[in-house]
């Protein structure tokens, strides 16, 4: 019996040495050491031996099965480590690869410019009108009549202004100045407010003109407001927006809703004042209209011009953006070319 055990032991040892993987080892264990394995079937014969034989053969059987268990376990550990390191090597992630780039959206340059202008005026004490006081679809009454624009003024011409065909006298506003009327109808002086928004004009589109663009209207009405206040506020705005070194000039002008009226020109950034296509050779670009609110406008909304006075202004957002960032074609703002938009 001992010889039988020895020969099983030897062939088991040979099988263990020949095993090439963990699953080979599992098979060896099943074949020799499991409940139905070869050792167990031999051990069943122990019961027929004498007590003395039982003790020695039994001890021998236990010793060699324990040895085989150890051999299998050692080899199992070896295979396990080898397989693990192979798997780790295979599944390795290359962390030096670039990640996937998801571009972030940005605020449109005209919105950026509007935000910047609004924040400057907020710091100068102006509030921002709610959108109900500054509608894009207007009546002639607000867009022209109440602003003292004569019935025969050329700006009313259908060639300049978009008239809606849904109802007579309804227009897409050609200027944000109508907001002045809504504001003064709804608020008593002191009034110190701005109203940003989109306006529409029936223009031939070119590098300088689009058939819609953006304006920021401003209105300051209180006791004792003078043209000096107007110049002070607008000069401060220009200094904060363009920096102190940008040449600007006030030029007298005419608007039906202000008296006296002026325009502010800023030196053309494209040619540094030498004269180019963008500034029609003048070296200057007009950025805003302004003036002291006409007494007829104040009377129209029930404000007594003997008690109150005020100034108003309307500036072009596209012009201000073009002059700050040297954009030489207004259409670039509306083409949605990412290469352009990404630069801001």
Does 313 interact with ligand DAH (rule: CB under 6 A)? yes
- Please say which residue, 68 or 219, places its beta carbon nearer to ligand DAH: 219
**Sequence-ordered alpha helix ranges (H) in the chain:** 2-18, 22-33, 38-43, 51-90, 109-123, 140-143, 178-186, 227-242, 295-300, 317-325, 338-341
Per DSSP, the residues of 29-92 read HHHHHSTTSHHHHHHGGGGGS-HHHHHHHHHHHHHHHHHHHHHHHHHHHHHHHHHHHHHHHHT-
Does 126 interact with ligand DAH (rule: CB under 6 A)? no
The Cβ of residue 201 has, within 10 Å, a number of other Cβ atoms equal to: 18
We find the least distance from the C-beta atom of residue 280 to ligand DAH, in angstroms, to be 17
Q: Which two tokens stand for residue 183?
A: 């504001």
Find the binder of ligand DAH among 134, 175, 210, 267 (CB under 6 A): 175
* Cα angle for residues 241, 246, 249 (degrees, 5° grid): 100
We find the least distance from the C-beta atom of residue 147 to ligand DAH, in angstroms, to be 8
Query: What is the CB-side half-sphere exposure of residue 40 using CA atoms within 13 A?
Result: 9
Find the binder of ligand DAH among 32, 121, 255, 308 (CB under 6 A): 255
Does 285 interact with ligand DAH (rule: CB under 6 A)? no
Does 143 interact with ligand DAH (rule: CB under 6 A)? no
Find the binder of ligand DAH among 258, 264, 322, 327 (CB under 6 A): 258
Residues numbered 178-237 forming contacts with ligand DAH, rule: CB under 6 A: 217
We find the least distance from the C-beta atom of residue 314 to ligand DAH, in angstroms, to be 3
The Cβ of residue 241 has, within 10 Å, a number of other Cβ atoms equal to: 18
We find the least distance from the C-beta atom of residue 227 to ligand DAH, in angstroms, to be 12
Binding site for ligand DAH (CB under 6 A): 175, 177, 217, 255, 258, 261, 289-291, 312-314
């Amino acid at each position: 019996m001992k010889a039988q055990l020895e020969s099983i032991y030897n062939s088991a040892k040979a099988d263990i040495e020949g095993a090439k993987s963990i699953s080979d080892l599992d098979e060896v264990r099943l074949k020799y050491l499991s409940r139905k394995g070869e050792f167990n079937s031999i051990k069943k014969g122990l019961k027929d031996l004498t007590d003395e034989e039982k003790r020695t053969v039994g001890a021998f059987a236990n010793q060699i099965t324990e040895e085989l268990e150890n051999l299998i376990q050692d080899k199992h550990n070896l295979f396990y480590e080898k397989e693990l390191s192979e798997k780790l090597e295979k599944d390795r992630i290359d962390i030096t690869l670039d990640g996937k780039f998801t571009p972030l959206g940005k605020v449109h340059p005209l919105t950026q410019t509007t935000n910047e202008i609004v924040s400057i005026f907020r710091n100068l004490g102006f509030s921002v009108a709610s959108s109900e006081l500054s509608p894009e679809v207007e009546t002639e009454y607000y867009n022209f009549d109440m602003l003292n624009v004569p019935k025969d003024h050329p700006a009313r011409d259908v060639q300049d202004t978009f008239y809606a065909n849904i109802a007579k006298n309804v227009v897409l506003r050609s200027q944000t100045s109508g907001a002045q009327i809504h504001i003064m109808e709804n608020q008593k002086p002191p009034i110190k407010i701005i109203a940003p928004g989109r306006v529409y004009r029936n223009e031939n589109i070119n590098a300088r003109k689009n058939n819609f663009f953006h304006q920021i209207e401003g209105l300051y009405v209180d006791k004792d407001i003078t043209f000096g206040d107007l110049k002070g506020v607008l000069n401060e705005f220009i200094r904060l927006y363009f920096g102190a070194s940008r040449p600007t000039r006030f030029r007298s002008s005419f608007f039906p809703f202000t008296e006296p009226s002026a325009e502010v020109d800023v030196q053309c950034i494209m040619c540094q004042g030498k004269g180019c296509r963008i500034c029609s050779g003048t070296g200057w670009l007009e950025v805003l209209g302004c003036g002291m609110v006409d007494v007829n406008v104040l009377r129209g909304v029930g404000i007594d011009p003997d008690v109150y006075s005020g100034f108003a202004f309307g500036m072009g957002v596209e012009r201000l953006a073009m002059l700050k960032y040297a954009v030489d074609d207004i259409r670039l703002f509306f083409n949605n070319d990412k290469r352009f938009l990404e630069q801001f």
